[in-house]
Amino acid sequence: MRIIVAGGLGFIGTNFIRHLFSEEADVKIVNIDKMGVGSNPKNLEDLKKQANYSFVEGDISDPSVINNLIQEADAIVNFAAETHVDRSIKNPQIFIQSNILGVFNILESIRKHNRSINFVQVSTDEVYGEIEEGSFHEFDRLNPSNPYSASKAAADMLCLAYHRTYGLDVKITRCTNNFGPYQFPEKLIPKTIIRALRNLQVPIYGTGANIRDWIYVLDHCEAIRLVLEKGRAGEIYNVSSGNEVSNLEVVKEILQHLGKNEDLISFVEDRPGHDRRYSLDSSKIRSELGWRPKYDFSSALKKTIEWYLENESWWRPLATREVLHSTPWRHG
């Protein structure tokens, strides 16, 4: 199978490419990434010498990039997106460009040049917005709260419309919060690990009561692989492992693993529009495709902390002043 992976130099894309090579004997991957925020060319440097892997620097919001590669491909998995909610609040424009226009270009390219292609759009639980009780199903209404989640919701709608109108083979995955190796230092778990290691205050939005359903990145990657291979066209698959934990509990657990005092925790002004709780029902992917999470939260968190301890040379050049230094903490 010849697969275009878009956004493969980011956190999940990097883990997915490695996962696919470890699971599939006969796969050829072209990784397209614009090398923007969240990417790191070092992530997959060791694969460069493999004949079944190649990298193209390119932006999915430029139609020629996908058009040039699509005729040679059997599938596209799209991770390429601007992903940081705080950045989307400061500067929404680039989120519209990459997350909506980029997906539109992929769909147009498939429609015009290779209609048989198998396309997986990697989406997020954030498109549903927050939920006080219970969990969202795939058929629930979308209610995004910030420019990032709104842009992802718009892309999902385009994908479903292109399936319905033109019969394209499109599938959507909507996953909860990921953690694991190669995650950009400004996200909650790596930032907490790095700052705690340096005995710096660890900022938490509001009271830290916001609940996220955390999944280890390799469980997400396996779900995407199954959807790519066995998912039904025009379908949405929620992916969650049922590890609902508040931000405060996540931070406390990291401090405990590192043997650090909870005095390091510092509560900062909440993010505007901050969703209180996300929760997904993932029974569809479990019953239809046989997916199950393999990693439990605490041991996967420990594995992740160990990875950051062992890979300071990876995260140090990426860490911004705000991650590495003490005050002032600017947020949102």
- Both tokens of residue 287? 């019953």
List the interface residues with ligand NAD, window 56-75 (CB under 6 A). 59-61
* Residue 278 falls in the annotated catalytic set: no
136 or 184: CB nearest ligand NAD: 184
User: Which one of the spans 129-137, 172-180, 266-274, 300-308 is the region binding ligand NAD (CB under 6 A)?
Assistant: 172-180
CA distance 49 to 10: 20
User: Which one of the spans 80-88, 245-253, 267-275, 316-324 is the region binding ligand NAD (CB under 6 A)?
Assistant: 80-88
Q: What is the closest distance, in whole angstroms, from the C-beta atom of residue 100 to ligand NAD in the complex?
A: 10
Q: Is 258 in the site for ligand NAD (CB under 6 A)?
A: no
CA distance 158 to 139: 16
- Both tokens of residue 104? 């539109």
* Residue 222 falls in the annotated catalytic set: no
Residue from 29, 110, 159, 175 touching ligand NAD (CB under 6 A): that is 175
Residue from 3, 4, 11, 20 touching ligand NAD (CB under 6 A): that is 11
57 or 312: CB nearest ligand NAD: 57
Q: Which residue is nearest to ligand NAD (CB)?
A: 10
CA distance 132 to 152: 22
The answer to whether 155 and 119 are in contact (CB under 8 A) is no
Q: Is 180 in the site for ligand NAD (CB under 6 A)?
A: no
- Both tokens of residue 106? 């992929």
Among 173, 294, 278, 191, which residue's Cα sits nearest to residue 235? 173
- Residues 6 or more apart whose CB falls under 8 angstroms from that of 238 comprise 125, 136, 137, 138, 173, 174, 175, 280, 281, 282, 284, 285
User: Which one of the spans 10-18, 193-201, 223-231, 315-323 is the region binding ligand NAD (CB under 6 A)?
Assistant: 10-18
Here's the x/- map for ligand NAD, 110-149, by CB under 6 A: it reads as ------------x-x-------------------------
Helix (H, G, I), strand (E, B) or coil at 5: strand
* Residue 46 falls in the annotated catalytic set: no
Here's the x/- map for ligand NAD, 29-58, by CB under 6 A: it reads as ---xxxxx-xx-------------------
Residue from 3, 4, 5, 7 touching ligand NAD (CB under 6 A): that is 7
Among 76, 56, 50, 65, which residue's Cα sits nearest to residue 9? 56
Q: Which of 33, 59, 82, 126 is catalytic?
A: 126
Number of neighbouring beta carbons within 10 Å of residue 181? 21
In this structure, the chain runs to a length of 332
Among 63, 34, 28, 31, which residue's Cα sits nearest to residue 45? 31
Per the listing, tokens 């058009």 go with 67
> Contact residues for ligand NAD (CB under 6 A)?
6-7, 9-13, 32-36, 38-39, 59-61, 79-83, 98, 102, 122, 124, 152, 175, 177-178, 184
